Structure 1
Amino acid sequence: MPKITPFLWFDTQAEQAANYYVSLFPDSRITQITRYGSGGPGAPGDVMTVGFELNGQAYTALNGGPHFTFTEAVSFVVHCADQAEVDRYWDALVADGGRESQCGWLKDKYGLSWQIVPQELLDLYSSPDKAAVGRMFAAMMQMVKLDMPALKAAFDGA
């Protein structure tokens, strides 16, 4: 089976970003660092790529220059066990220059988009009670960081 690895383009922060991400998620590590040689386009010895794993999923970060930036068209979803986990990842990813968006979306300090989602929300979406799901969805649309107790209350009609 072919393996698919997300490839993330950074200007010059690939190693810094990879180290930051592996510090946040369990079962994460740097797996490889390659450096530019004399053929460029980076200066000889500068970091070219960083292989890393987040929770066992492989990624590659490239120092490719300022030509491309991240957009919300691609985001990573973090499935959280509870509100405490939502709060922890949210706070860590918006720290030091990250930006909150809405409905559980944010951009980290490198411009990469994340969705920080409590698993219970996803479970409730599959409920056959469409009115409850609609109330929960309406409440979610008013939120920045997802608040599972408030979402559950909306689902329950409270």
Structure 2
Amino acid sequence: MKELSTFFMFSGDNAGRAKEAIEFYVGLFPDSKIESIELNGPDRPDPADHVRVAAFTLKGRRFMAIDSSAPHAFDFTPSMSLFVDCDNEGELTTLHDALIVDGQALMPLANYGFSRLFAWVNDRYGISWQLNLPE
């Protein structure tokens, strides 16, 4: 096995937003970068400005993404989320405040008794994030 990567497919209302999401995430997290973004060519069924395939890292972890304008019976779900252990309250609130814009709080920022501070949000693209400040 060469590698294991988390893979995002931006479809439905988010089709065509993969590049925007990748740039947003890479800008939020240190030690992050876009490795490659390949857009569709004229011979592809999806629009030319949609991502055919992209690879990027967040905090040194590899992710991949595509856009798909084809109809699918599924989309992102909070049952699979990205869990982020933050170093301090300032880092957690910065991430929370950026990710919640045009998103949704599944568990608002609070102390739930299992950590100092925690929030679970869906961002504007439908990706689910658990933001944690451990005890």
Name the TM tier (shorter chain).
0.7 to 0.9
Specify which of 80, 88, 93 is matched with residue 94 of structure 2.
88
Q: Which residue is equivalent to 2:82?
A: 76
Query: Which structure would you say has the larger RCO, counting Cα contacts within 8 Å and 6 or more residues apart?
Result: 2
1:25 equivalent in alignment to 2:29: yes
Specify which of 12, 15, 26 is matched with residue 16 of structure 2.
12
**What are structure 1's unaligned runs of at least 5 residues?**
121-158
Pair 1:44–1:104, CA change in 2 (3 A): closer
Using the TM superposition, give the Cα deviation of residue 89 of structure 1 relative to its aligned residue in structure 2, in angstroms: 0.8
Q: Which residue is equivalent to 2:126?
A: 111
Using the TM superposition, give the Cα deviation of residue 110 of structure 1 relative to its aligned residue in structure 2, in angstroms: 0.3
Q: Which residue is equivalent to 2:110?
A: none
Specify which of 20, 24, 36 is matched with residue 40 of structure 2.
36
Using the TM superposition, give the Cα deviation of residue 104 of structure 1 relative to its aligned residue in structure 2, in angstroms: 1.7
* Cα distance in 2, alignment partners of residues 46 and 111 from structure 1: 18
More strand by share: 2
Q: Deviations over 1:41-100 (max 9, x none)?
A: 2134643122111011111110012524211111000101121111111111102x0111
**What are structure 2's unaligned runs of at least 5 residues?**
108-117
> Alignment length, in residue pairs?
119
Give 1:98's aligned amino acid.
Answer: G
Indicate the SS of the match to 2:121. strand
* Cα distance in 2, alignment partners of residues 46 and 112 from structure 1: 18
Pair 1:110–1:56, CA change in 2 (3 A): same
* Cα distance in 1, alignment partners of residues 2 and 33 from structure 2: 22
Identity of aligned residues (%): 35
More helix by share: 1
* Root mean square deviation of aligned Cα: 1.7
In our comparison, the structure showing a higher alpha carbon Rg is 1
The TM-score with structure 1 as length reference comes to 0.69
> Which range moves more in the overlay, 62-71 or 25-34?
62-71
Q: Which residue is equivalent to 1:151?
A: none
* Cα distance in 2, alignment partners of residues 29 and 108 from structure 1: 19
Q: Which residue is equivalent to 2:111?
A: none
Q: Which residue is equivalent to 1:130?
A: none
Indicate the SS of the match to 1:7. strand
Specify which of 55, 64, 69 is matched with residue 68 of structure 2.
64
Indicate the SS of the match to 2:25. helix
